[in-house]
Amino acid sequence: MNIVDRFLKYVSFCTTSDENTNMTPSTPGQMEFARYLADELKQIGLTEVTLDKNGYIMATLESNQPSAVSHQIPTIGFIAHMDTAPDASGRNVKPRIVKAYDGRDIVLNEEEQIVLETAKYPEILHYQGQDIIVTNGKTLLGADDKAGIAEIVTAMEYLVQHPEIKHGKIRVGFTPDEEIGQGADHFDVKAFGADFAYTMDGGAIGELEFENFNAASCKIRVHGVNVHPGSAYHKMQNSMRIAYQLAVMLPRWETPEHTQGYEGFYHLIGMSGTVEETTLSYIIRDHDRHRFESRKREMEHLVRKVNREYGEGTAEIELRDQYYNMREKIEPVMHIINLAEEAMKAVGVTPVVKPIRGGTDGARLSFEGLPCPNIFAGGENFHSRYEYLPIRSLEAARDVVLEIVKKVATQR
């Protein structure tokens, strides 16, 4: 199967993750997709294919070199995630291919007048003349990260079909629930057995990332007292109003829409409530570990401030670290970054080394002993109905995987 058809097949599976189910995988569609992938890996010739009860897939492409040589070749891994973000619907994805993109706005859905406008998304102009996979304007596409899976599987199939290409042992891993920060929760690094790995989970062509946010989730529950408004004087405590008061105490410019590069932020991702109880859901991000810890302390400070004003127990906070900046774990093994850069250049891709304003499974895996930087998967506008995937970028990422494999086998 060619890489485009494979990708189009993958996005037909609804694999939206859901942080509220308290299950792994968090949604049944992910396990359905995992079973399909496990069967496919067996069919293309990989061995040691496992699918555990939590939806994690691992598989092996054995070395095709003599034993004495194989022992000198590092075991490398390639990892991608199966879920798509809950930010937009991933059900009934109906992609189409825009042939030889002409540089004009793309009408995604004529009936509802949903348009991918170049004025809003000028990056698409970089892909003029190329074939581009787009959505129908009603769902996300799923290139994050089904493009990564398609690239890895297609590269492994090519290596099986071309035994003349020398390679050592290669491990493949596919994870659930990355989009809700749980992708590495049950990943068995020891069982994976790679010396280092790459997540194929970046964005535009050329991206190579070994720095990411330190990340935490934060939930604040505000408790109020509901009394009939006609007799509420000095009795009612409206939890929604108190929650709003807390929210506006955070610096208004330290939000995603006002920050870039290495700048961190507080991001209110959910707010729901009644007079009696309101919940604020935040994510906290910063590249610098010291500032990251300061941000968490600031949230705790605001909760204490509310409790001093309205009474102890009015507000409760739950903070959970999600992942940390992988840079400190990658710097001692920078040769794996150099390897990826060389592989990109060899296939005609200009490396773009940049910090991730987000995170990947590789961040947590790096702290668990598996150095794991991130390579582009090729898509743009992830998590939205305006997501798109240039086919050349999809193919280039596959070629980078192949080139890394070749270089590892020859650079001993």
Pair of tokens at residue 368: 């668990």
Contacts of 293 (CB under 8 A, 6+ apart): none
**Stretch (H or E) spanning 365:** helix 361-367
Pair of tokens at residue 116: 């991918």
Catalytic pick from 178, 211, 395, 399?
178
3-class DSSP state of 249: coil
What is the CA angle 141-147-152, rounded to 5? 165
Residue with tokens 């920050």: 259
Polymer length of the chain: 412
The Cβ of residue 96 has, within 10 Å, a number of other Cβ atoms equal to 13
Amino acid (one-letter) located at 112 = E
* b/e per residue 196-215 (b: at least 16 CB within 10 A): bbbbbbbbbbbbbbbbbbbb
Pairing assessment for the beta strands 57-61 and 170-175 based on DSSP bridges? antiparallel
Catalytic pick from 83, 207, 209, 361?
83
Pair of tokens at residue 321: 């670290």
**Stretch (H or E) spanning 154:** helix 143-161
Give the torsion sign (CA, 195, 201, 205, 206). negative
Pair of tokens at residue 185: 């929760």
What is the CA angle 359-405-401, rounded to 5? 45
The answer to whether the beta carbons of residues 375 and 200 sit under 8 Å apart is yes
C-alpha–C-alpha distance, residues 326 and 321, integer Å: 14
195 catalytic residue (yes or no): no
178 catalytic residue (yes or no): yes
Phi, psi of 203 (to 5 degrees): -95, -115
Give me the active site residues, please: 83, 178
